[in-house]
């Protein structure tokens, strides 16, 4: 397939632009590079998990989920943010195209693993949003990191952005259910539902703290 010089704004005039983008070489190449960046970060996390298992006889996280943002979601976000519709602008302005979600058992593990990951000398920490210590108004809790990580291609080294989200099992449970219900008709405008979701988030946060305290007692830290 020949190289194509294109502008997103031209593709946006076509039917089903997200399907067309999947067949455009510059876009496909960039998605491949983001996938490589995900593989790099996942490998680092898996190494830390194996080390914890060997040293402390436990795993610091329950699961890792990775994803590349769908083309239509990328287009919609670019338009919503008012960015130029081009591949170059997409790479420059969007830092969550490649995303990894790490589900941990305890809050302490979140900060421990995040510190170990960002302390590696080939990773640059671009941004931190700590919604655990500073929850969103709706009760959402999570630790978000934007990482700059190098990938090594046949053409040489290239730096890519990857978003890593850390949550406990309880935080992920709440976020998953909140995501499913908030798009239902009139939910966003229901003060009662919003208040109930916030209350559930507070209960879950209290449970996370209590489970952490119990583990500390068992390990003799309390």
Give CA–CA dist 105/208, Å, rounded. Answer: 9
Q: How far is CA 58 from each of CA 89, 104, 168, rounded to the nearest angstrom?
A: 43, 12, 16
Tokens representing 141? 């809790």
Residue 157 Ramachandran class (φ > 0 left, ψ -120 to 50 alpha, else beta): beta
Give CA–CA dist 15/70, Å, rounded. Answer: 16
Give CA–CA dist 55/62, Å, rounded. Answer: 17
Query: Is 196 one of the catalytic residues?
Result: no
Give CA–CA dist 111/109, Å, rounded. Answer: 6
HSE of 82, CA atoms in CB hemisphere, 13 A: 0
Q: Is residue 167 classed as helix, strand or coil in its secondary structure?
A: strand
The active-site residue, picked from 42, 50, 163, 196, is 163
Are the CB atoms for 143 and 111 separated by under 8 Å? Answer: yes
Residue 16 Ramachandran class (φ > 0 left, ψ -120 to 50 alpha, else beta): left
Do the bridges between strand 98-104 and strand 61-68 make them parallel or antiparallel, or are there none, so unpaired? antiparallel
Q: Which residues are catalytic, by number? A: 163
């Amino acid at each position: 397939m020949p190289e194509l010089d294109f502008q997103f704004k031209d593709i946006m005039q076509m039917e089903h632009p997200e399907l067309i983008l999947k067949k455009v070489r510059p876009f496909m190449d960039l998605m491949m590079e983001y996938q490589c960046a995900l593989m790099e970060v996942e490998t680092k996390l898996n190494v830390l998990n194996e080390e914890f298992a060997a040293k402390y006889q436990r795993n610091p996280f329950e699961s890792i989920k990775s994803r590349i943002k769908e083309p239509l979601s990328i287009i919609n976000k670019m338009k919503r943010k008012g960015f130029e519709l081009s591949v170059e602008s997409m790479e420059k302005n969007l830092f969550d195209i490649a995303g990894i979600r790490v589900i941990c058992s305890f809050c302490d593990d979140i900060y421990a693993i995040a510190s170990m990951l960002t302390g590696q000398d080939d990773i640059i920490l671009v941004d931190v949003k700590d919604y655990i210590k500073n929850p969103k108004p709706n009760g959402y809790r999570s630790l978000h990191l934007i990482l700059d990580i190098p990938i090594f291609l046949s053409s040489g080294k290239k730096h890519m952005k990857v978003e890593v989200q850390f949550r406990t099992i309880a935080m992920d449970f709440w976020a998953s259910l909140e995501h499913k219900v908030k798009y239902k008709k009139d939910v966003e405008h229901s003060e009662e539902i919003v208040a109930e979701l916030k209350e559930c988030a507070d209960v879950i946060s209290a449970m996370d703290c209590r489970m952490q305290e119990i583990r500390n007692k068992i390990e003799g830290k309390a």
